Amino acid sequence: MTSSKADAAREVRSYAIGYLLALLLTGFAFGAVYWRVASATTTFGIVLGLGLVQMVVHFRFFLHITLGKSSRADLQLILFSTLIIALMVSGTLVILFNLHHRMM
Amino acid sequence: MSATEGAHPGLNIAHPHAQAQEETETALFGFWVFLMSDAVIFALLFATYGVMLPATVGGPTPATVYEIGPAFLETLILLTSSFTFGLASIAMKHDAPCRRILGWMGATLVLGLAFLALEVRDFITMFAQGATPMRSGYLSSFFALVPLHGLHVAAGCLWLVVMMAQVVVFGLDGRVRINTLRLGLFWHFLDIIWIALFSVVYLQGLIR
Amino acid sequence: MTEPLWPALLGRFGWQDLPFVRAWADPSLSEIIGAGAGALVVVGGLAVVVLITWLGRWGYLWREWFTSLDHKRIGILYVVIAFTMLSRALVEAVLMRMQQAAAINAPGFIAPDHFAQLFTTHGSIMIFFMAMPFLTGAINYVMPLQIGARDVAFPLLNAVSLWLTAGAAGLMMVSLVIGRFSTGGWTGYPPYTELAFSPDVGPDYWIWAVTLGSIGTTLSGLNFAVTIYKLRCPGMTLMRMPMFVWTSLCTSILMIFAMPPLTVATALLALDRYLGFHFFTNDLGGNMMNYANLIWLFGHPEVYILILPAFGVYSEVIATFSSKELYGYTSLVIATMAIAVLSFTVWVHHFFTMGQSANINAVFGIATMTIGLPTGVKIYDWIWTMFRGRVRFSVSMLYSLAFMMTFVLGGLTGIILAFPPLDYLVHNTLFLVAHFHNMLIPGLLYGMLAGYHYWFPKAFGFRLDEKWGRISFGCWVVGFYLAFMPLYVLGAGGMTRRSQAVFEPAFRPWLYVAGVGALVLLSALASLFVQLWVSIRNREANRVPVGDPWNAGGLEWSIAAPPPEYNFAVIPTVNDRDPFHGDKADGDPYAPPKRYEAIAMPANSMTGPALGVLGAVTAFGLVWHMWWLAGFGLAAGIATIVARSFVRDLHRTIPAAEVARIDRHWRRDIRKAKPVGRAVEGTPANRGLAEVEA
């Protein structure tokens, strides 16, 4: 059970994969903006999408949040928090933009 | 319980000590909860930023004050620092010699400080252009959101220094391991916030 | 504005900032009352210090209470804060009621600015420094016992939360002596609370007191949630937890997610006031409507934080005093969770009139009405619990009955307010004020008082005096109806809230009745203190050392009263709900353990008091622009945290022999006690040992 060196190598490889994926996703996002690949709204959509994927990469490879049993409680907490945050942020944006629109 | 306080807690799953493992899990879960409350604070600052983006009041706008180069460099630095901290965590988990652990922690610290230095330089440049938080609602929201992240990184750097000192003084005892794990959660979490930051603030502002 | 006396050292403080100086210059009744309040704080504080010194109890207090990490001690200290601040805020309410009764086409005796400070402190104290500490204290004391744990997950964090709250409460009291308080209401709406309109120290006191308290609360929520998730005793699955633990869990989740919006709102206001930012200013792009949005993102879940623990108390009390199992456990759990989640979806109903479209208002109005449903389910479950039970009218049960009837009335007015067009008519009138007091007093306060009467014997080992308990109860109920029912009429008749002066003679009779009600409520509070005095005097007669005075079912009743520091000599294993009822039914509820083991408990720590004091000092420095003090406080606080992290010796071990000795002492009490039936549970015959029918 103590093949520590092999475990360590596997873990380093996992972090390295996460790092590489994150680099790629970052590069694509910055590239999309720098080289103006699409219209403003589409580009922003691409940026947000890539950002979301990169967050998942960080959660999976750096924070070890998987669908497995050991991180179940953490995953439930993160998903619940995401729900609350989505409610609060979307509510704020909808309400304030509605108010802005009605003030103009 | 006090007799085993100094023993290795449940990082090494190979030699599980049930109670210490539970303590580690409880400590880490508690820290996750704290991070989620922190995430709500950041989320609302992001929402406020979104609401106040149009409030430029004839002053500097995102397009005029953001620069893609420094933002990209800061992103790379912070991402790499996450990687180096990961290597430090692995070294600690597998009882590597303290020098190796301190080496990776030190690398993380250097990268973190470099990130902060670049960010401060960015702010000074903005101030020189008249883009201060007192100029408009938009700039106020920028200077609440981005420096809050920066303050967190600064706190993380201080925490890193403290952890490195404790590794030297106490070695890899139970508390040092748990607190290093918590610092790891904190550091990676800050990188996740940065993803949102560079996407929603810098890249959105630089899209033409 | 006052002339600063010595800016480098004392920031913007000037002699005029002392209420005594102001009263000397302008001896109006309003100023004299203000100076009197300040004097009370000074004299009262000195009196307490002198008394403790004279009794030589500083060492005892420091060792046994202030540096203790015991959740039971911390819980009691929270409740002490709550009762202290309740006294102040209730007096403020009486002053306001008297002013409104006196100021009908007359000046009254409280100046407008003073009146505005009164309604601001009354609301801020009642919410942040009475209700929150009361329920946090109750959860702190009871929840770990009910889940069979020795303490909460993070005992030091628990102490830090307590002391941050205490420091913030201290800041509120200091504001009576040095400076003034905000006049912007307990929600501190800008742009009124911005520098342009309130450049004085008032809003700053409010911001920092609320911030310190809210940090404490967030950390408490974290602590309780992790405790309930991770520290339940073997066999206690989620669906075997007592209802008070379920409500504590949902309350904690609300605390974790609802306090951050408050932190953001007050922090952004602070940035505006201290650094000239433009979040909520009138000019340069400020958007004060976002403040209302942020503060109510906090404010609505906050009221569910206030009510859920009370619901938990009612579940415990009603079941116990109906001599019956709680009806509809699963529906109560689902209802609690539904309330918790839905509470994040209704916040706009606090600002229906702010200008967003009718469609947005409609969505939130419907959501608001929906949230009444799970509460209704709970009421039915409690009624069905009593049905065919053998109901005993203990003081706790009286509060529960009054709650069920009065709270439902208030809830109905809530449904009225949930309709945007109706809300437009009564927004910011006394109708609203009547509604939320109708929810908070019969809901939260009666719940906390019911819990106080219920668990006091467990905490202190003797029952509270029954007669004074009933007198107090009577005053609370009569006082509430007299003080608040007229406000519905006044509000529907158009009287605005927070009015220092009244110009409509038709309001007079209602205001007089409300004034009488306020005085009755003051008597209710006084009766509580009399009750405590009488109970302490008669404590030997009312001792319940065995620990089960009410024949109840939770694990907390299966240990001595007061419990030992470590709660349980051996961590219990449960296999059903109401495990102690199960043990009693099985016939051997007090079986001694086979062996005693040494128990490690958290060692005392001065980190809690240190951070509380330093937090208050930093806040005080920020309020008065004493930057050196604020900087020192912050630096010292960080140094304290870093220093604490270097401490290695975090535990104290209680030897097995000591555990055995304490346990055997309790078992002697059990042997000496005679089991009593419920008919005599309110008499000295009750030693805490319940007679169990076969």
Secondary structure (H, E, C), B140-189: HHHHHHHHHHHHHHHHHHHHHHHHHHHHHHHCCCHHHHHHHHHHHHHHHH
Residues of C engaging B, defined by a Cβ cutoff of 8 Å:
153-154, 218, 222-223, 225-226, 229-231, 256-257, 259-261, 263-264, 267-268, 271-272, 275-279, 284-287, 290, 294, 297, 600, 638, 642, 645-646, 648, 650-653
In whole angstroms, give the CA distance from residue B117 to residue B120: 5
**Residue C651 pairs with which residues in a beta bridge?**
C602
Q: Which domain holds residue B121?
A: 29-206
Contact in structure between C616 and C211 (CB atoms under 8 Å): no
Residue B97 DSSP code: -
Nearest to A99 among C289, C297, C344 (CB): C289
Give residue limits of the domains in chain C.
7-56, 57-543, 547-605+647-694
User: Token pair of C518, please?
Assistant: 């306020």
Q: What is d(CA C98, CA C114) in angstroms, rounded to the nearest whole number?
A: 14
Q: Which of A36, A62, A97 sits opposite B208 (nearest CB)?
A: A36
Within 10 Å of residue C325's Cβ, how many Cβ atoms?
13
Same structural domain, A50 and A87: no
Which segments of C395-442 does DSSP mark as H helices, in order? 395-418, 420-426, 430-439
CB C201 within 8 A of CB C115: no
- For residue B11, being part of any structural domain is answered with no
The Cα-based distances of C254 to B87, C124, C249, C331 in angstroms read 36, 19, 9, 20
Q: To the nearest whole angstrom, how far is the Cα of B149 from the nearest Cα of chain A?
A: 16
Question: Does residue B48 sit within a domain?
Answer: yes
Chain-centroid distance of CA A25 in Å reads 10
Q: How many domains does chain B have?
A: 1
Q: Which residue of B has its CA nearest to C261?
A: B41
For helices B68-93 and A4-34, the axis angle rounded to 10 degrees is: 170
Q: Output the pLDDT for position B6.
A: 27
Q: What is the pLDDT of residue B20?
A: 79
Neighbours of B105 (CB within 10 A): 24
**Of all helices (H) and strands (E), which one includes residue C599?**
strand C599-602
Amino acid B174 reads G
User: How buried is residue A73: exposed, middle or buried, by Cβ count under 10 Å (0-12/13-18/19+)?
Assistant: middle
- Cβ pair C279:B138 closer than 8 A: no
Give me the residues of chain B with pLDDT under 50, please: 1-16
A67 to chain B nearest CA, in Å? Answer: 16
Least CB–CB distance from B40: residue in C257, C276, C652: C257
> Which of C257, C297, C357 is closest, CB to CB, to A98?
C357
Q: How many structural domains is chain A composed of?
A: 2
User: Which residues constitute the domain of residue A40?
Assistant: 1-64
Mean pLDDT of successive 10-residue stretches along chain A, which has 104 residues: 77 96 97 94 96 97 92 93 97 97 88
Answer yes or no: do A29 and B46 touch at CB < 8 A. no
CB contact under 8 A, C356 and A102: yes
Chains interfacing with C (3 or more CB pairs < 8 Å): A, B
Q: Are B96 and A11 in contact (CB under 8 A)?
A: no
Polymer length in residues for chain B: 208
Residues A89 and A101 in one domain: yes
The complex's ipTM? 0.96
Rounded CA separation C539/C537 (Å): 6
CATH architecture of C57-543: Up-down Bundle (1.20)
Instruction: Say if the Cβ atoms of A73 and C293 lie within 8 Å.
Output: no
User: Hey, what's the torsion of the CAs at B111, B116, B117, B119, to 10 degrees?
Assistant: 130
Query: Inter-chain contact B41–C275, Cβ cutoff 8 Å?
Result: no
Q: How far is CA B80 from CA B75, B107, C151, in A?
A: 8, 10, 40
Give the mutation candidate from A21, A39, A60, A74 for the B interface (greatest B CB count, under 10 A): A74
Could you give the CA distance from residue A43 to residue A27 in angstroms, rounded to a whole number?
14
Does some domain include residue B7?
no
Chains that touch A (3 or more CB pairs under 8 A): B, C
pTM to 2 decimal places: 0.96
Which regions of chain C are under pLDDT 50? none
Is residue B19 in some structural domain? no
Residues A13 and A30 reside in one and the same domain: yes
Do residues A39 and A81 share a domain? no
Q: Do A102 and C229 touch (CB under 8 A)?
A: no
Contacts of C360 in chain A (CB under 8 A): 94-95, 98
C354 touches chain A (CB under 8 A): yes
CB-CB under 8 Å, A11 with B44: no
Contact C167, C66 (CB under 8 A): no
Residue type at C507 in one-letter notation:
F
Interface test with C, best of B44, B45, B127, B159 (most C CBs within 10 A): B44
B4 domain-assigned: no
Whether residues A57 and A78 fall in one domain:
no
- Supply the CATH number for residue B123's domain: 1.20.120.80
Is A5 found in the same domain as A53?
yes
A80 lies in the same domain as A46: no
Q: Which residues of B159-179 are buried (b: 16+ CB within 10 A; e: fewer)?
A: bbebbbebbeeeebbbbbbbb
Are residues A96 and A54 located together in one domain of the fold? no
